Structure 1
Amino acid sequence: MATIKRVISAVSGGIDSAVSTLLLKNKGYEVIGVYMQNWDLLDEKGVCSSQNDISDAEWVCQKIGIPFHVVNFVKEYWLEVFSNLVNDYESGLTPNPDILCNRHIKFEAFYKHATEELGGDAISTGHYARTTFGEYLQNFDSTKGVHLLKARDERKDQTFFLSQIHQRALQRSIFPLGDMKKSAVKKFAAAEKFAPLLKKKESMGICFIGSRNFQEFISEYVTSHPGNFVDVDSGKIVGRHDGIHQWTIGQRSRIGGCKEPFYIVEKDPSTQNIYVAMGTRHPALYTDLVMTDTPHWIHSPPPQLVKDGVLDCDFRFQHTHSLLKCQVFCAHSGRLIIRLAKPLRAITPGQYAVLYLDEECLGSARITTPGPTLHALGVNSKGMELDCR
């Protein structure tokens, strides 16, 4: 049984990391605060609050009375997260940079820096999540491995974004907010005179985009190849677009003069065609089958899948979506085939199929393609129970 004494806490300048860091100090740990700088502001034309966040993070550490460091992971972020994001958009995929950032930056580069450069026994973040080692690694035993569990506050649960992290780092990760409600975190912050941070907006989306919309931002990095919007029902061209990277599956298109809006169904990088369907409940938007690449299991492959070849569990591919029952099958290639309990709207290649069993987040696999849509199968969806999330 290892002893945890020095904890390196990720401080972002926000309320969650401030409270989690103070909770660690109150528990008697030797705590060092570290702000991760992941984007080079000198290359950014938009507006980003990172410099203000650094000042807020330093203020938090001064108030708590702990050392403060800024570590530069710009190179790592560019190579492991942003370059992959650009490549995916060029290929017609819709990536999830938050999942990649946690895997490669917070729980790899930061973990390595914390343990090797700062002599930390563990790292801490303000994520709403829990592990089987307990809130402060009371039950730490690396020989058993650790399971990732949903937060007590399911509305704030962030295990979706942690579904690709490695076991080695997770075993040494502390999530002080895992058993707390967001309301309790805010109340605690106010009592500890962190009230100025309560006025800040919560971090949503990608900071370095600044005040611009995403289509404007990504067009600075991906060459635009104009193409056609093609109606899946008639096969006719119904409009033009400036590049497939600007659109994602399920998104409403800006095609005028129609009795109902068109929605994105499929993107073809080889022709630059985007196939669209009229109406948000069009059967071309729905499927109950998902194909993925090789999964990342956080602890180990689920015994049920290994023994029986099928796993009954829960699925989501968007953080805000509720869980959906599914059956998971392992293909000969090691990839997954996932059968959903009911047809789901806008399954998006490049996103992650995140799998849960009871309270545990088992891991995830990147979606390569949805299965045949109801439209392709000739199924009349009228009267069917569809998941319209």
Structure 2
Amino acid sequence: MDTKDGGKMHVVMLPWLAFGHVLPFTEFAKRVARQGHRVTFLSTPRNTRRLIDIPPGLAGLIRVVDVQLPRVEHLPEHAEATIDLPSDDLRPYLRRAYDAAFQRELSLLLQEAKPDWVLVDYASYWAPAAAARHGVPCAFLSLFGAAALSFFGTPEALLGLGRHAKTEPAHFTVVPEYVPFPTTVAFRGYEARGMFKPRMVPLQRIALGLQASGLPFIWAFRAPTDAVSGGLPEGFEERVAGRGVVCRGWVPQVRFLAHASVGGFLTHAGWNSITEGLAQGVRLVLLPLVFEQGLNARNLVDKKISMEVARDEQDGSFAADDIAAALRRVMVEGEGEQFGAKVKELVKVFGDDEVNDTCVRDFLRHLSEHSKKNQG
């Protein structure tokens, strides 16, 4: 690798301010550093304290830069991640603070250090132009799976331009014409409409479904700010005492999934959660809610890897019994054995560190070759 540092690169990473983004970016930074490359990781002080744990052996290769967010009207004090917001309505104010602080910090860093690459999350829309002004290449490190990204289309389409642009709900409910193989994987009507007008999650129905399933569970629960009695049905925790535990707020999901007593995972079907579940060989029950989650769910169901909670095709509603039925079918009834066998096979891919490190090496080699080509 013909880079400035004897063949090793210096990479800057900018994750969005959400736990589900900071954590995978951190894990990726560690894998990059284990290959001998330097990483500058932009974070905030509170997120660094809560989430970022750099092993002593990598401390000389990973530098975490804490970026102080500015005061923004309506943004709660000490809010440095989406989990700190009492309402999703406040996300625009967190974005405003992020844009102001991280854009400034990146510009300073590019002037002082001139790294080899900048790797950005979806939120740093201003980063490519900033990097280009300093002659530094920039790449989008997506937390969506490749299948979902291919559905959304080219950068031109994402900007709402060209023949494949998706500018209204109906455009998301059909398989794009450029997909070269037969598939039925697409958004349902209620999911497509939800992209333009998100819906509240019926947490009480999920609670009653867990209760009706009769299965032991641990639930990472975050109540909405306007919830009555904590957002759970009255007496719920007393009724499930002894077999169900409700953990309010964030939990170390990977550690929980790795525990020998955990055999199944009811998840919203975000790609991070899917890969974490498959890496541990746990059976998946899918309840997609927003973003690309519906595509992920259809894809896994189509491949007979998991089961999706039954929903009303018109409005996306579901009953407690639908939750209970899906959980029992996957966990205790006969057909659950095929799901168990399938996820055990996939551990060899998602849970194999050697496979993951090979993918990282291939990715880094691609970055290096791109740099050499443009330098030449």
Report the TM-score, using the length of structure 2 for normalisation: 0.31
